[in-house]
Each structure stands twice: as structure tokens, then as C-alpha cells.
Copies of this chain bind each other. A is one copy, B any other.
Amino acid sequence: MDPNKRPDDMQRINTPELAQAFIDEQVQAVREQAGDGKVLLALSGGVDSSVVAALLIKAIGKNLICVHVNHGLMRKGESEQVIDVFQNQMDANLVYVDATDRFLNLLDGVDEPEAKRKIIGGEFIRVFEEEARKVGDEVDFLAQGTIYPDILESQDGVKAHHNVGGLPEDLQFELVEPVKLLFKDEVREVGRALGLPEGMVERQPFPGPGLGVRCLGAITRDRLEALREADAIVREEMEAANVGAWQYFAVVPDVRATGVRDGVRAYEWPAIIRAINTVDVMTAEVPELDWALLKRMTDRITHEVPGICRVAYDLTPKPVGTVEWE
């Protein structure tokens, strides 16, 4: 039987009971696979890696070594939540690496989107590799948050899916991929049954390069910070208004526009609100947001975020636009 093929008769996990049964089964399987060995996991804070972390903590406790690399491009409160949930609440073996300076120094002055993505992806591998080498002698396994769509897509040749691909030859581990046959909704159901907070289980898809591709052009620390605050306001207000959009976030382009604060000329960045609905991410529509909500976000962002004096709502469907601006 192909271990990467979901059995035709496998039931969709859509109840707490089914999720619990899956957890019991996987806890057993992981214990059998890893024995007393140590397992390494790159814990981004996304749904998939968070669910794998919680599952493995349940199975092997401190034999799981979670490495959370903060590349400085996380959304507001995300790294803090990872520490709070996994270190404080679940008492995990968590290595927290604040690599903000490394990433931002490398990105200094780089404005081409593909170049930015390569730098962020490459440096992520290097930072994780350094941490892996520190514990490499005692570790035999690498856990990954691979899910079933990843496997289907890599079989289609659409993309190679290694959550931590690119590690050097001498750092190859045996893989532990407990959710690799699950679809996203099932991963969320399992996450809930594992006691992860709702905000983490329902976390929106977030690109690997993080805010790096939403702080358009050459990233600067002040504009990145403005983006992080504006993005937090967009998420907070959209959630409070219970807008069922698939994804929503802020973008801050590298351009300034005039404004007026207390009668004095301001020359600050605009923030763009991006929200989309999609079924398959191949196409996307822009939801018609309530006017009062748009006004409230505009008012809060222009008054609470230093450096931002304008807000616009992106009206572009995909195609012709893409979901992200870079």
C-alpha cells in the first residue's frame, strides 16, 4: 500500500469524536516510529505545524524539539502566541530563535519581489540548519506539517513540497508526517480536539515570506512596523464584524502621499486593505464590505498607526490581480 495515498474508504474527519480517534491512532503510530528517539520540528505557528506539534507533544512530550524561527516578518502577536501556547501552556521543548536582525539586514535595499522571496527562504533554511546542527547528534527524526493537498500537488508536478526542504545531505532525518493524509478542514478539526486556541486553528493562510511580501519593495523597519500595526487592525475589525472572508490583510507600498495632521502637512505611507473570497485560490473575488466597517478601519489605521495617513481598499479580483501584491 502506498503510504502517500489516502485510502478510498477513509472517513472525513468532521466531528470531535473522529478527531479524537485519529489523535489516539497517530499518538500510537508516532510512539512506534520514534521510540525513545528525538524529533525535530520547524514550528512556524501556522495551522499545520501547530497541529503536528500538539500531536507530537501528546505522543512523545519533551522528545519533540520545536524550533520557532522569528524572521521578523511575523504578524503582530504571532511569535508571542507560539511561545505562550507551546512553551507556557503545553510545556513543550521549544527553541525560540529571534533572527529578525539577520533577515532584515539581508533584505536591506532589496526591492525585487522574487529576490526578496529567495533571500527569506534561503535564510530560513540556514537558521533552521544551524539549530538542527546543535541538536543533530541526538536527533533522528524530522517532523513536518505536510498535508494531503501538498502530496497531491507535488505528484501533479505543480510544486515540490518540503516544508523544510533544502537541508544539506548530512542533515537528512527520517520524516514524521502524522497529518499527511488529511485535508485542511480535518487538520483544523484535529487541532481543536488537541486543545489549540481557535485563533491558531482558524489562522488564515500566511505566505512563507510573511509580511516581507506585504511591505512592498525594499523593506524598512519603520514601514514594516506600520504594516504590522495596520494589519492587526484590519484583522481585528474584520473579525469583530464577523466578515466571513477567506483571507484579509494589509499591504503597505513603498510610496508616500500627502496628508494633513493638526493643520500640518504630513507625508506618509498609504495602507491597502486586501480581502478576498475563493474556493480554489485559482480565482478570487473581492467581497463587498460594509461601508461603516471600511470607514472604521480607515479611521483607526490613520489615527493609531504612526506613518500612515491614507487607506484604500483593493478592488482587484484574481485574475487580473493576484491575492498578494508581490
User: Which residue of B has the minimal Cβ distance to A302?
Assistant: B320
Q: How far apart sit A267 and B213, CA to CA, in the bound complex (Å)?
A: 14
User: Which residue of B has the minimal Cβ distance to A254?
Assistant: B255
The interface size of chain A toward B, counting residues with CB under 8 Å, comes to 40
Q: How far apart sit A217 and B254, CA to CA, in the bound complex (Å)?
A: 11
- Asked, given contacts A288-B291, A291-B288, whether A259 binds B312 with beta carbons under 8 Å apart, the answer is no
Chain B residues with Cβ below 8 Å from A257 are 216, 253, 321, 325-326
Residue in B216, B298, B316 whose beta carbon sits within 8 Å of that of A315 in the complex: B298
User: B254 contacts A320, CB within 8 Å?
Assistant: no
User: A314 contacts B315, CB within 8 Å?
Assistant: no
A139 CB, nearest partner CB in chain B, Å: 38
A209 within 8 A of B: no
User: Which residue of B has the minimal Cβ distance to A313?
Assistant: B313
Q: How far apart sit A313 and B312, CA to CA, in the bound complex (Å)?
A: 5
User: A295 contacts B322, CB within 8 Å?
Assistant: no
Residue in B297, B315, B318, B325 whose beta carbon sits within 8 Å of that of A313 in the complex: B315
A261 within 8 A of B: yes
A310 within 8 A of B: yes
Chain B residues with Cβ below 8 Å from A64 are none
User: B314 contacts A312, CB within 8 Å?
Assistant: yes
A and B contact pairs by CB, cutoff 8 A, 21 listed: A113-B267, A253-B253, A253-B255, A253-B270, A257-B321, A258-B321, A258-B322, A259-B320, A260-B318, A260-B321, A260-B322, A261-B320, A266-B320, A270-B314, A272-B312, A298-B315, A309-B320, A310-B316, A310-B321, A312-B314, A312-B315
